[in-house]
Chains A and B, each alone.
Chain A
Amino acid sequence: MKVRVDPDRCQGHNRCYSLAPELFDVDDYGYATAAGDGVVPPELEAKAKLAAANCPEFAVIIEDGG
């Protein structure tokens, strides 16, 4: 599983960062990006899904498989 943040949608709510700080970084303005290469370790998959399901901008995107 991989996670990414659509920069055109992210408005810096920080919901993903507060729910899954292992998977996201935020910049000085609060806008989020996936941490590292975005690969989600199996034990954090539930947290990744939770972050996606709480983003009011639908900006957190989960890519399965690969």
Chain B
Amino acid sequence: MAAGDSRPPVEDWATDYDIFDPAYCSDPGPIWADLRARCPIAHTERWGGSWLPTRYDDVAEMARLVPALSNQLPIVVPPVPFHDPETGEVLRTRPHIPPISSDPPFHGPARRLILPAFAPPAVAAHEPFTRELAHRLIDGFAGKGGCDGAVEYAQQIPPRVIAHLLGVDEDRADDFIAWVRGILEFGATDPELRMATAQKIFAFWGEEVRKRRAQPRDDFISVIMEGDLDGEPVDDDHAVATCNLLLIAGIDTTWSSIGSALWHLATHPADRRRLVAEPALLPTAVEELLRVYSPVTMGRLATEDVTVNGVTVPAGDRVLMNFPSANRDPAHFPDPDTVVIDREHNRHVAFGVGIHRCAGSNLARMEMQVALSVFLGRIPEFHLDDNVPVTWAGGQVRGPRTLPLTFSPAP
């Protein structure tokens, strides 16, 4: 954590929480349980100030208060400006990644533009690539008897699937990984890095969009460029912003989910063996792993005073949509901190609720199911390597970043 060393420790999570605190990143469950019981909507002045609901009903209610709780600031740390690369002029002062950063009425057309690419039939078309990719990655470490499940597996799948879907070279995956971490992980607490990374990303997508304006291709970028926004043509600026959305929303989120699932299966052998013996449970297990290890906490900005559960969030304040804590609320999930891989009743909100439901949720599910199914098929017995520590990223996207696994060398 770049700025972590100089911050005073948290003494009261209800009035001074810190989503980048190492304790919050590695195991936020006990912190949420404490807050849910005594101060269900917490507040902090840290990182520009924000409110943190922890109960399912409060989070769900707030997620639907659109646009009173606006999406124009989905990242909770103070925004950085975006400059014209040639003149240095400030072009934007807030993130522009529609429809995540959009409110109605623009939100609807921006969302309809991308939804067909993420509906079940469109997602199914990417499954063979994802399966082949998972096998290819495992080929790289199966014979070694160990791997970093985060770096060598979980982290490698979403950037390649997104590259494949968008229609850019899979070899860009390492850049995508660096860029998304430069915005959401290391960049969250390092505004200079975040600003520089945003410039790189926009330059890259600008070039890809210009190439397709000259010569359309059979890929997602061309399809959205030929689409429309309620009858209006999609200009290059919107196409670039949409590509940026897929990069920001579709990579570290899903790799965090795959990584957390592998961590769980490495540390809970009974669950792992049951999934190996009963692969038909996998879809249900994936929903349960998404519930307990929900990676994403989205930011909102109050555009008017909003009162929920007796707490008034004043206009201008920010709110963290704490979907991960909602999913551990005992009022909705019996034994909420325990993974029950055949849990039948599971209205989890890992992908949010309301009009901003994650547009890529079907893609994320497919990637998780394929990643876990192929891994368990090739390497059914694996454990944490106790000699190397597991590290977790937190903030608004939580998941393991180092996940040392050992297993018997496999073919």
Contacts and interface: CB of A to CB of B under 8 A. Distances in A.
Interface of A: 11-15, 17-19, 26-30, 50, 53-58
Interface residues of B, number: 23
Contacts of B345: 50, 53-54
A30 B123 CA distance: 11
Q: Is the interface of A mostly helix, strand, loop or mixed?
A: loop
Contacts of B120: 14, 17-18, 26, 30
B344 A18 contact: no
Interface in B44-67: 60
A54 to B, nearest CB: 5
B119 interface: yes
A14 B362 contact: yes
A57 B353 contact: yes
Contacts of B349: 56
A54 B119 contact: no
B96 interface: no
A37 to B, nearest CB: 22
Nearest to A15: B287
Interface in B358-372: 361-362, 365
A41 to B, nearest CB: 20
B347 interface: yes
Nearest to A54: B346
Interface stretch (B110-118, B237-245, B250-258, B398-406): B110-118
B200 interface: no
Contacts of A12: 115, 119, 357
B115 A29 contact: yes
A10 to B, nearest CB: 10
A54 B118 contact: no
Contact of B351 (A13, A26, A29, A50): A13
